[in-house]
Amino acid sequence: MYNNAVNSGVWSYVEPKSLTPTWVHFDKRFGTPACSTGGFPLLRRGSLSNYVLIAQDDLNTLGFRTGGLDGIFGIATQNAVINYQRSRGLTADGIVGCNTWRSLQEDVVGTGPTSTTIN
């Protein structure tokens, strides 16, 4: 996964694995928020960003496989989003917008480290 993050173009610099913390914190958000009250930006197929990594990590943590953590919103991530949305009664459009972000963030609270957590 480390090489995928480096090669995706999402990061301009990635620390060596030995120095990378389990949780990476993003202090300054960029892009237009998906919700009028703020939050992460809307994501769809073709999106490339650290926010895609967050969505992928959330989805994988909840059992919806994205094919890895690479920051690239491809077909596997889109399918995971659609399956997640269907499971929660959300509009299954494959787009991570306001309602999907809210649901994902609420669902992952308290889950702790999982098989997708990079140590």
**Which residues neighbour 42 within 8 Å (Cβ) at sequence distance 6 or greater?**
32, 34, 95, 96, 97, 98
Taking residues 49-58, report their average pLDDT.
92
What CATH superfamily classification does 2-6+33-108 receive? Answer: PGBD-like superfamily/PGBD (1.10.101.10)
Mean pLDDT of the chain: 80
Q: Is 38 helix (H, G, I), strand (E, B) or coil?
A: strand
Tell me, what's the pLDDT at 39?
81
Taking residues 2-9, report their average pLDDT.
56
Tell me, what's the pLDDT at 36?
83
